[in-house]
Amino acid sequence: MKLFRPIATVALGAALFAALPARAQHIAETQSTVIDSEQLDMRSTDTLTTFVFTKRVVVTGTNLRLTCDKLEVITTRQGDVTATIGKLGHFKSLVATGNVRLLQSDREAACGRAEVLPDDDKIILTDNPVVKDLANGATASGPRMVLFRGERRAVIEGGEANPSRIVLPAIKDLGFDKDKKTPDAPAPEKKP
């Protein structure tokens, strides 16, 4: 039994997924991106359509699960400008705010705000972002993270008061054990 019944459900297609960085190199099948929320406010101009989803927002799609309190999606609009609901073009931006959790493949991100900019091929995470690699337990955090699609690159911007931080899996002890006895070194040979 569901605790709530979403009032708004919108299938926006796999284009939303294309805006997000994928860890897997090959994905066998794509699926439509579906956004569920308790409320949806949709507005259009001659060139843009803006969707504002609020209350228990859940986005599911190919290699993607996103939850947040509020999601604003801006797409270009094509076709007849007099139509009530125009034909959707490409995604300009997607901004998730409030308790944002993004799960893709073996990565999970949590933050207060996530801004996806498909034209720039990047995602900007702010408000205490933490990214976890679920496969090896590594975590990265900092005040602001910029993730670049297709580059396997992330920039974590920190400062003196709030530095960037990464926690990696343990490595073996490479240090000196003062209690461990070492074999005596052989005496040097005397030269005649």
Give the pLDDT score at 192. Answer: 63
Give the pLDDT score at 153. Answer: 87
Pairing verdict, β 165-167 and 139-141: antiparallel
Across 62-162, the runs of DSSP E, i.e. the strands, are 64-78, 87-104, 107-117, 122-126, 130-133, 139-141, 144-148, 153-157
Look at residues 6, 126, 129, 92 and name the one whose alpha carbon lies nearest to residue 56.
6
Cα angle value 46/96/129 (rounded, 5°) = 145
Using one digit for the tens of pLDDT, what is the confidence trace for 3-38? 333 333 333 333 333 334 443 444 457 888 899 999
Give the pLDDT score at 108. Answer: 93
Residues 6+ apart with CB under 8 A from 26: none
Give the pLDDT score at 25. Answer: 41
Q: Which residues pair with 108 in a beta bridge?
A: 103, 132
Tell me the three state secondary structure of residue 82. coil
**Stretches in the chain below the pLDDT threshold 50:** 1-27
pTM listed for this prediction: 0.72
Give the pLDDT score at 28. Answer: 52
What is the residue whose two structure tokens read 């859940």? 58
Give the pLDDT score at 10. Answer: 35
Give the pLDDT score at 184. Answer: 67
